[in-house]
């Protein structure tokens, strides 16, 4: 007889690359920058790819499934227009309250250099430590990394978002964040927590080219290897990928999720989010990933169910 399974310790949903549409009307002065190229690009093609009705379908499904927590790994907006940040804040509120949703920025959220007060500050309650995280790790003044703790699960949130030249979508973590990250991973590891790292750009060398990749991917992956993590979640590539990185405390599973709004009829991948059922297994952890997808149809389906680690 099959032994009954206990409900998972923690269910974490992960979605990314929202690219919220429609893009609000841009004032002429807002287009005197890199935005003009993005604006043309958006109206020529991207607006047909990032579809609001698909995003709404997926987020409704996600909310109905009541995960314990939701992680949003960046690219909430497109061109960095002031109104886009407000609309994205509204979208976050519909997803859940700040204590149930953690967000980090992507390269599109730092499309042009802007004062935080008129941009990502609108998302601040979603981008800061919770009390249990704060008790373990003090957020540096720059705001990243910050730590949220939910019982046996610790989330370390990074920012790889930097303003770049036109046609460049690269990111960087930088020396300071890498050293704080090392410290946070050590602290959470000593507590015996399941450590989840959130980052917009793919964290491993070779996962994206020079124009689009994380400039310090090699150094970041060395930090992860030396200090350990259990799960690393990212976006940016708009594709589903699963990698393993051997670390001092066993394998870190590195998963990239497709965009939550990108769905072109007949093209793979469909818009998708992933759900992680995390539970203790002996001295380690069992992690099951469930993929939920939406394409051109009016329903969301389970596109994948896979155990990522058993120990
Ligand atoms: Fe993106
Ligand atoms: Fe991106």
Written as tens digits, the pLDDT of the chain (311 aa) is: 444 455 678 999 999 999 998 877 777 777 777 777 777 777 777 777 888 999 999 999 999 999 999 999 999 999 888 899 999 999 999 999 999 999 999 999 887 787 778 788 999 999 999 999 999 999 999 999 999 999 999 999 999 998 787 778 899 999 999 999 999 999 999 999 999 999 999 999 999 998 999 999 999 999 999 999 999 999 999 999 999 999 999 999 999 999 999 988 767 678 999 999 999 998 899 999 999 999 876 889 999 999 999 87
Residues with CB under 5 A from ligand 2 (ion): 75, 106-107, 236
Check residue 7 and give its pLDDT.
61
Ligand 2 midpoint to CA 164 (Å): 12
Ligand 1 midpoint to CA 154 (Å): 25
Ligand 2 midpoint to CA 235 (Å): 7
Q: Beta partners for 108?
A: none
Under the phi-then-psi rule, with left for phi > 0, alpha for psi from -120 to 50, and beta for the rest, what region is 13? beta
CA 66, CA 45: separation in Å to the nearest integer? Answer: 34
Strands across the sheet with 241-247, in order?
A: 146-150, 153-157, 194-198, 231-234, 250-256, 241-247
Ligand 2 midpoint to CA 2 (Å): 43
Check residue 3 and give its pLDDT.
47
Check residue 5 and give its pLDDT.
53
| Nearest ligand, CA 106 | 2
| Nearest ligand, CA 257 | 1
Ligand 2 midpoint to CA 283 (Å): 36
Check residue 2 and give its pLDDT.
47
Torsion of CA 216, 205, 271, 158, to 10 degrees: -30
Check residue 268 and give its pLDDT.
67
Q: Is 0.85 surpassed by the pTM of this model?
A: yes
Check residue 266 and give its pLDDT.
65
Ligand 2 midpoint to CA 202 (Å): 9
Ligand 1 midpoint to CA 90 (Å): 19
Neighbouring residues of 205: CB distance < 8 A, sequence distance ≥ 6: 217, 218, 221
Ligand 1 midpoint to CA 236 (Å): 5
């Amino acid at each position: 007889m099959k032994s009954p399974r206990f409900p998972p310790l923690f269910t974490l949903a992960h979605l990314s690359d929202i690219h919220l549409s429609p893009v609000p009307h841009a004032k002429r002065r807002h287009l005197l920058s890199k935005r003009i190229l993005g604006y043309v690009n958006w109206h020529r093609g991207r607006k047909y790819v990032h579809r609001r009705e698909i995003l709404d379908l997926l987020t409704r499904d996600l909310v109905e499934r009541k995960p314990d927590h939701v992680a949003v790994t960046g690219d909430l907006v497109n061109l960095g227009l002031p109104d886009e940040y407000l609309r994205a804040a509204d979208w976050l509120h519909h997803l859940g309250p700040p204590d149930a949703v953690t967000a980090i920025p992507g390269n599109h959220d730092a499309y042009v250099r802007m004062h935080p007060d008129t941009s990502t500050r609108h998302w601040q309650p979603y981008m800061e430590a919770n009390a249990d995280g704060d008790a373990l790790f003090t957020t540096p003044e720059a705001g990243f990394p910050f730590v949220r703790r939910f019982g046996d699960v610790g989330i370390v949130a990074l920012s790889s978002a930097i303003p770049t030249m036109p046609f460049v979508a690269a990111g960087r973590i930088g020396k300071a964040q890498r050293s704080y990250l090392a410290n946070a991973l050590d602290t959470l590891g000593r507590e015996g927590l399941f450590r989840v790292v959130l980052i917009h750009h793919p964290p491993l060398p070779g996962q994206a080219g020079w124009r689009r990749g994380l400039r310090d991917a090699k150094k970041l992956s060395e930090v992860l290897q030396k200090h350990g993590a259990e799960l690393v979640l990212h976006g940016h590539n708009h594709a589903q990928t699963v990698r393993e990185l051997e670390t001092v405390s066993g394998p870190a599973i590195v998963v990239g999720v497709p965009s939550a709004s990108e769905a072109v009829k007949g093209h793979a991948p469909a818009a998708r989010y992933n759900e992680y059922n995390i539970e203790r297994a002996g001295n380690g952890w069992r992690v099951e990933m469930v993929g939920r997808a939406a394409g051109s149809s009016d329903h969301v389906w389970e596109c994948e169910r896979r155990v990522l680690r058993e120990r």
